[in-house]
Amino acid sequence: MSAFTVGAPHIDTIVNAMRQFAGVPVPAGAPRGIGQMLWDENYASVNYRYSESEPTPDYSPTLIDEPLSPIAVLKAMDCYEYQSCEHPGWKTSDAHTLINAIRGVIFTDHPDWGQQVRRYGSEVPLYTTLPEYDAAPWEVNSLDQVAAVIVKAEQEKAAQEAAHAGEGSVYREQGMLNITDIAKRMRVNLRNAQSIGMLPAEAKFSVTTDRFSMGQSIDVEVRGMTDAWTYTTRESIYGGEERIYSDAAQATVKAIEQMLREYNRDRSDIQSDYFDVWFYSHVRIESESHATWRIEDAAKRKARAAARKARKG
């Protein structure tokens, strides 16, 4: 596995955790010596891993009295251990003993955190599954990142974002609009986007809806564009060339897809083959050959309808 040397703020986190969670006074000169020992162990691990001889910088502690998040401290120590366990002497080192002692003090106050639970097919400590653990940094670059109030705020922010994950702004404000109403709004939005140069001025748009047994869909077709504008070619992995959308065409499709997403909710998980959307959507650009067929087909339909009407008198 890979490893890296942590910065001074990361060592500061463990030193301050020792002061806050150990429950006993730390001698005045101890933080510098303990921090240097921790950093030396980290550099020894990385040097061993990569066959280097990088010297450890001199450590000067930054001490704070602001409460640290115990979860953030646990995550910082997890990171430190991951980077520092590469050399053979790790398990008998003072650094290993120290972080296990700090863990033990934290688990005394929160005994359930150290319990093993199953996640993603593996046994892991319970604390690693908590939202606050996700909100805390893996590598600490500033002591502010592990302050209890900061980590709690990040956790709440992450929880709010998770609650609205996959929701467009209009969906979040107005909920599940009828897809017929969404289609009407899209027709207006597309014209407005053209007026500000977001979409090609010469394009025409077809917005249709469909309902079926497993859901519903809104489909947008961009019409009136030449093949020279729509397509370009690239070398195929199978040899020869293949036709793909040009940069301008891709930008147009992406812009329309984003407009549709504002009305949608998508909580699907493709990896588990789970689909949960308010509506499906498809955006495509009509080719010249399809446009020719569509116009001819419409003319034939019109002619057949006129013939039927004439026969009926």
The vertex-244 CA angle with 241 and 249, nearest 5°, equals 150
pLDDT attached to residue 193: 94
The vertex-299 CA angle with 298 and 302, nearest 5°, equals 85
Residue that has been written with the tokens 């020894």 in this structure: 44
pLDDT attached to residue 59: 97
Partnered with residue 54 across adjacent β-strands are: none
Cβ atoms of 77 and 102 within 8 Å: the answer is yes
**Ranges of the chain whose pLDDT falls below 70:** 1, 23-28, 149, 151-165, 268-274, 313
Which H or E element spans position 137? none
Buried b (16+ CB within 10 A) or exposed e, 87-113: eeebeebebbebbeebbebbbeeeeeb
Measured between alpha carbons, how far is 166 from 188 in angstroms, rounded to an integer? 24
pLDDT attached to residue 289: 96
Measured in whole angstroms, how far is the alpha carbon of residue 199 from the centre of its chain? 28
pLDDT attached to residue 202: 95
Residue 128 CA: distances (Å) to CA of 72, 149, 204: 10, 19, 52
pLDDT attached to residue 119: 75
Measured between alpha carbons, how far is 275 from 297 in angstroms, rounded to an integer? 36
And the tokens for 48? 């061993």
pLDDT attached to residue 159: 63
Nearest to 71 by CA among 158, 132, 149: 132
pLDDT attached to residue 153: 67
Residue type, 220: V
